[in-house]
Structure 1
Amino acid sequence: MQARLSSREGQSVSTEDEAIEPVAAAEEWRERHGSSRKPTINDVARIAGVSKRTVSRVINNSPLVKEKTRTEIGKVIDIVGFSPDPQARGLAFRHSYLIGMIYDNPNPQYVVNMQQGILAGLNKSGHELVLHPCDRESDTFLQDVRQFIERLKLFGVILTPSVSEDERIVEMLREIGCAYIRIASVALEDNDNMIVSNDRIGGREAGRHLAGLGHERIGFISGKPSFRSSRERRAGFEEALAERGLTLDPALVRDGAYTFQSGLERGRELLQMDPRPTAIFAANDEMAVGVLQALSIAGLRVPDDMSIMGYDDFQISISVWPRITTVHSPVSRLGELAAEKLLLLKEQEGLAGGDETCTPWLIERESTAAPRK
């Protein structure tokens, strides 16, 4: 039987007489060198009897390594005390171990939730996350993003709405050869680079809920018109109303900006309508809470005088009273899937499987009820 035997230099050699398993070889290496020499990835590969690439895959938590091999290499790493140097790894592979999250989103909670999800997806991969806020309307938008990527030699980037909806940045990423994953409300390209949030389904849930309670005169406050998610949520909402034979009155539609202040201002406008709506669907929770504030200032009660509904299910939706009925958008999970898919995309050199989707769902709370007759 052919086996491995560690030489004095830590190299594995073959012998027909005696077998030294990787764990035993690792213990021998540690006894010989102690703390006098820091182990390298080459040492780990020789001791484990595998290639340097296989060790690298284990370090990066690649799904392409068999569990038995992963376990053996992990034991060797622990015994010899190997710790990969991120800077050296970046030089060796001609890129850093940094993942960029690029965003232009006015909602801080969205950014935080997305960041937490991406970090969960990168856990134990040896990669780190760096953030790059940007302004899509800036004349230097593309130049700034390109400099960010090239300066840090990013492993890849995750594009969040509405940056992900901009085809100019995708063309630029392809040009410079930077791997990317797009998170968007719909599939924007027919390949492996998409994570889909299905905002139209969420809008449909909102419409079915309010129409099912008996509301017919319903106001709608959209997000930024430039955001695809805003248009998708409205489209789904109108589809659900049509199922009940209802239509969304254009006079009851207002453009918001996904911010509390825009919800407050647009809510005040809708309250001045005569007759005013019996319910308002705001396209995110920040705006819904702004509407709630407008009703409180006007001396109106929720849901007795008007029902309010939001979208996202962020912390703010349960930090007020009444708590906001909303549509849960699994933002953290979207970020986690994007990170996992980006790592796999790089590992398999462009073959990461089909697009991934997450489905939003209704969260019913105290801010909605049947309209008073």
Structure 2
Amino acid sequence: MNSSKTPSSSPEASSPESSENGVEGGRRRATINDIARLAGVSKKTVSRVINQSPFVRDETRERIEAVIAEWGYAPDPQARGLAFRRSFLIGMIYDNPNPQYVVNMQLGLLDGMRGSGFELVVHPCNRASPTFLQDVRSFVERQKLFGVVLPPSVSEDERVAKLLNEIGCSYIRIASVELDKPEHMIVGHDRMGAAAAAQHIVGLGHKRIAFISGPESFRSSHERRGGFEDGLAESGLKLTENDIVQGAYTFESGVACGDVLLARTPRPTAIFCGNDEMAAGVLQSARKAGLSVPQDVSVVGFDDFQIAQAVWPPLTTVHTPTREIGKMAAEKLIGVERREPRDMTKTEPSLVVRESSGPVPV
């Protein structure tokens, strides 16, 4: 169709249909054919604009986008999948006990997908289930996914990466260390953040220091412990096995571990927790024991999720840009379609000092 053709007045002008065929509020839902006719271009040109192709003149792109905005047109992912012989769905497969991590990651993925025409489908799972791999495969094949984002701890499971390679599904793994080829990885460097937490605690004068780790099945648990030990070693300090209690990255486990540590004689003057949920649990445990934070015991967390500022006192913690990482993951995965180069993507945590940490009690 010639791009100089005068647009028709409305989608209804050529093909009015009943409400059973998509009329909303008296106006039929616009189709890609309607948008093409109204903008005076071909359907293929509209498709190029929707898919953000660079091969469309700016003037034409602006005209098409104006018509799309006016009529509230949105492509149907299933219809697009049929046309392109694949879906425009991105899956997030996760097994994580921290609900705020899951929410922040989803928000980040949606940020990265905004305007791309892709939609998000989430799949909670249990890595310990005997049908775990079968369930993952079924999810990917049933949804005909364009690609998958794998947060920890699913990202740390080599069996999942192998499965996705076998069935030809693109994926991005998010982890605290490099586990795959650069094009498949976003690395968070948890070890660096934990070392910064140790240096902060030691700098406040603490020597009786305890650590609450996350689950053994999470690589982040080992990286955060390793980084914390590295940071202590710089000042000649060392954790003993008696200084370490294993939690589960949950508030409840933080309370339980806090009860154990704060009942010891002598009790630690500072506790570093593998995530904020457990640190919040330690604050609860300290209140139960009649202790003040940070006057009697300092508490430091990891992640800097919303809970870190919702508790009292607000948590000193290691900030990890989870939402930003989700955005990066979506953009990197979508870049597969556009054949964009995908190097190793890395982020760095940073220490955020708030009221839950203070000088060692005199």
Contact 1:200 1:235 in 2 (8 A): yes
* 2:331 counterpart of 1:353: no
- CA 32–161 in structure 1, closer or farther in 2 if over 3 Å, else same: closer
How far apart are residue 71 of structure 1 and its match? 3.4
Which residue is equivalent to 2:358? Answer: 369
Contact 2:215 2:248 in 1 (8 A): yes
CA–CA distance in structure 2, aligned partners of residues 308 and 198 of structure 1: 22
Which residue is equivalent to 1:230? Answer: 221
Which residue is equivalent to 1:185? Answer: 176
How far apart are residue 44 of structure 1 and its match? 3.5
> Aligned to 1:346, what secondary structure does the other structure show?
coil
* 2:8 counterpart of 1:30: yes
Contact 2:210 2:270 in 1 (8 A): yes
Contact 2:174 2:186 in 1 (8 A): yes
Contact 2:8 2:38 in 1 (8 A): no
- How many residues matched? 348
Instruction: Supply the AA of the counterpart residue of 2:292.
Output: R
Instruction: Supply the AA of the counterpart residue of 2:216.
Output: P
| Bigger mean CA offset, 101-110 vs 201-210 | 201-210
Instruction: Supply the AA of the counterpart residue of 2:353.
Output: E
Contact 1:221 1:283 in 2 (8 A): yes
* 2:130 counterpart of 1:139: yes
Which residue is equivalent to 2:195? Answer: 204
| Bigger mean CA offset, 110-119 vs 84-93 | 84-93
How far apart are residue 327 of structure 1 and its match? 0.8
Greater radius of gyration (CA):
1
Which residue is equivalent to 1:323? Answer: 314
**After superposition, where does 1:119-268 map in structure 2 within 5 Å?**
119-268=110-259
How far apart are residue 191 of structure 1 and its match? 2.6
* Matching residue within 309, 314, 333 for 2:305: 314
Contact 2:92 2:123 in 1 (8 A): yes
How far apart are residue 222 of structure 1 and its match? 0.5
5+ residue gaps in structure 2?
A: 16-29
The superposition leaves residues 198-234 of structure 1 with CA deviations (integer Å, 9 ceiling, x where unpaired) of 1111111111110111111110001111101111111
The superposition leaves residues 48-92 of structure 1 with CA deviations (integer Å, 9 ceiling, x where unpaired) of 77893x643431345787766643553565689865333221101
CA–CA distance in structure 2, aligned partners of residues 333 and 269 of structure 1: 36
CA–CA distance in structure 2, aligned partners of residues 294 and 341 of structure 1: 42
CA–CA distance in structure 2, aligned partners of residues 63 and 186 of structure 1: 35
Which residue is equivalent to 1:118? Answer: 109
5+ residue gaps in structure 1?
A: 1-10, 13-21
> Aligned to 1:310, what secondary structure does the other structure show?
strand
Contact 1:223 1:258 in 2 (8 A): yes
CA–CA distance in structure 1, aligned partners of residues 127 and 327 of structure 2: 24
Which residue is equivalent to 1:284? Answer: 275
Which residue is equivalent to 2:265? Answer: 274
- CA 114–32 in structure 1, closer or farther in 2 if over 3 Å, else same: closer
CA–CA distance in structure 2, aligned partners of residues 176 and 199 of structure 1: 31
How far apart are residue 110 of structure 1 and its match? 0.6
Which residue is equivalent to 1:6? Answer: none
**After superposition, where does 1:62-101 map in structure 2 within 5 Å?**
70-71=61-62, 73-75=64-66, 77=68, 83-101=74-92
> Aligned to 1:195, what secondary structure does the other structure show?
strand
How far apart are residue 238 of structure 1 and its match? 1.1
Which residue is equivalent to 2:21? Answer: none
CA–CA distance in structure 2, aligned partners of residues 308 and 67 of structure 1: 54
> Aligned to 1:286, what secondary structure does the other structure show?
helix
> Aligned to 2:137, what secondary structure does the other structure show?
helix
> Aligned to 2:202, what secondary structure does the other structure show?
helix
How far apart are residue 33 of structure 1 and its match? 7.1
> Aligned to 2:336, what secondary structure does the other structure show?
helix
The superposition leaves residues 168-209 of structure 1 with CA deviations (integer Å, 9 ceiling, x where unpaired) of 011110111111111111121123011111111111111111
Contact 1:288 1:309 in 2 (8 A): yes
Instruction: Supply the AA of the counterpart residue of 1:317.
Output: A
Which residue is equivalent to 2:293? Answer: 302
How far apart are residue 29 of structure 1 and its match? 3.4
TM-score by length of 1: 0.86
Contact 1:162 1:228 in 2 (8 A): yes
- CA 63–263 in structure 1, closer or farther in 2 if over 3 Å, else same: farther
TM-score by length of 2: 0.88
How far apart are residue 31 of structure 1 and its match? 4.6
Instruction: Supply the AA of the counterpart residue of 1:166.
Output: D
CA–CA distance in structure 1, aligned partners of residues 56 and 10 of structure 2: 29
Which residue is equivalent to 2:25? Answer: none
| Bigger mean CA offset, 159-168 vs 89-98 | 89-98
What fraction of aligned residue pairs are identical, expressed as a percent? 55
Contact 2:35 2:68 in 1 (8 A): no
